[in-house]
Amino acid sequence: MSRRTTAGAAALTALLAGGLAGCSGGDSGTPDADRTSSVPTAAAASPSPPPTPTPTAPPRAAPVAVPPGGACYTLTFRQAVSPTNGEDPVACRAPHTAETFRVDRVDNVVAGHLLAVDSRRVQRDVARTCPASLGAHVGGAVDDQRLSMLRAVWFTPSLEQAGKGAAWFRCDAVALAGAEDLLDVQGTLAGALDTAEGRDRYGMCGTASPGAPDFERVPCGAPHSWRAFSVISLEPGRYPGAGSVEETGSACEDAAAGVAADPLDYEWASEGPDAEQWAAGQTFVRCWAPD
């Protein structure tokens, strides 16, 4: 607005000066003496045009920082399950616990209304998007992913960052080392489940049979005695109930016979989802056998 006003004033001054110069030409019938005396008067009365001001660039907002893609971090389990994260990246060639595999913009405009990044709608969408995108990064078939300890975690901007215009989400891949611990990874998790070595290193194993008091879920690269070796999908939709899940899990017996050293003497176990696990997206039964 100030530029437009200043430019208008300068143009008006130039117009007034030009008008005065036009009047100073006089009429050809005017005596020379009158013409001579009138010229200095007009020139003296003409103000000098002010210098044209240098335009001032409009202020620009500072760019909103977006997390780098492909970055690695050393996060604790608690940090990994937090909604925001402000840790600095580390070199991916060094040991780390999290690896960013997707950075994108949140869909926070609904019916023309802008939603907060911590709104239930935005958080729900991100919580679906990141796990659904993990497979494209770590590789393997769907069953390989379900039988692994690799998981997706996600972050959105802090309220302070969102107040400055940040509207991104970040998906990281992590490897669980236990119930509340992350595994140190060296290198990348990209395509980890595409190889037999990766499927074994990050596969899901247990310190005992599922359901035993001392059972703990661990990567198969760690000491273990049982392994999750197969999955049986359930019909999607509403939770089918514990009885139906247990009935489906009985099929693990035949599956275990197929991998046992002695098909006449073997152990097996099934691990099916309860209602809470079902709501979290586990719509399948895992089959276990001694390893």
Confidence (pLDDT) at 256: 93
The Cα–Cα gap between 248 and 266 comes to: 19
Q: Are 214 and 207 in contact (CB under 8 A)?
A: yes
Q: What angle do CA 112, 83, 135 make, to 5 degrees?
A: 90
Q: 285 Cβ partners below 8 Å, 6+ apart?
A: 231, 232, 234, 245, 248, 249, 251, 252, 270, 271, 272, 273
The Cα–Cα gap between 153 and 172 comes to: 5
Model pLDDT for residues 63-116, shown as the tens digit of each residue:
678 999 999 999 999 999 999 999 999 999 999 999 999 999 998 888 888 889
Q: What is the pTM of this model?
A: 0.76
Model pLDDT for residues 233-266, shown as the tens digit of each residue:
999 899 999 999 999 999 999 999 998 888 888 9
Confidence tier at 48 by pLDDT (50, 70, 90): low
Helix axes 32-45, 2-23, angle to 10 degrees: 170
Domain ranges of the chain: 2-45, 67-202, 203-291
Model pLDDT for residues 112-134, shown as the tens digit of each residue:
888 899 999 999 999 999 999 99
Q: Are 182 and 80 in contact (CB under 8 A)?
A: yes
State the residue for tokens 């309220």: 159
Residue 44: pLDDT over 60: no
Confidence tier at 22 by pLDDT (50, 70, 90): very low
Q: Are 152 and 171 in contact (CB under 8 A)?
A: yes
The Cα–Cα gap between 184 and 98 comes to: 9
Would you state the structure tokens that stand for residue 54, as one six-digit string?
């240098």
Percent of residues, the chain, with pLDDT higher than 90: 69
State the residue for tokens 């008091």: 213
State the residue for tokens 């990874």: 185
